[in-house]
Amino acid sequence: MNSEKLYRMFYFESYVTLMGLLFQFVCFGGSPSRMKSFAFYMVKELKYKLLAGQTLEDISKGSDRYVLYKVGPVLSVSVSVEMNYKEENLVLYQSSSRDFD
């Protein structure tokens, strides 16, 4: 993966549940394709096993404002110009976090 910067990265000291998903890191980035690439990069770096015929899927339920990919403890979220800080907070509402930015 190239060295493009993620916009924001959050770390939770314990796992957080959102939409039935457990995660510990949230990475906000740019375009949907960039965050999909980041998710596949996380598959490689975390040595996450995908079953034969399995691939990563956008779990945002067809939203046209952002995409979500989950790999192990990492939630990868695209951020468009239309997605503002308030919407980021809606994604992160369940726990206090430490911002690495």
Domain hosting residue 69, numbered range: 8-99
Q: What is the percent of the chain with per-residue pLDDT over 70, rounded to a whole number?
A: 69
Rounded distance, CA 93 to CA 10, Å? 12
- Here the CATH number for the domain that contains residue 33 is 3.30.460
Is 2 inside a domain boundary?
A: no
**Contact status, residue 11 vs residue 101, Cβ threshold 8 Å:** no
Does residue 14 form part of some domain?
yes
Is residue 39 one of the residues assigned to a domain?
Answer: yes
In a domain, 95, yes or no: yes
For 42-56, what is each residue's pLDDT tens digit?
999 999 998 888 899
Distance CA 45, CA 12 (A): 19
SS3 call for 90: helix
Query: What is the overall mean pLDDT for the chain?
Result: 76
pTM summary value: 0.73
For the chain, how many structural domains are there in total? 1
Task: Give a yes or no: residue 83 inside a domain.
Answer: yes
Q: Dmax of the chain from CA atoms? A: 38
Between CA 30 and CA 11, with CA 40 as vertex, the angle to 5 degrees is 65
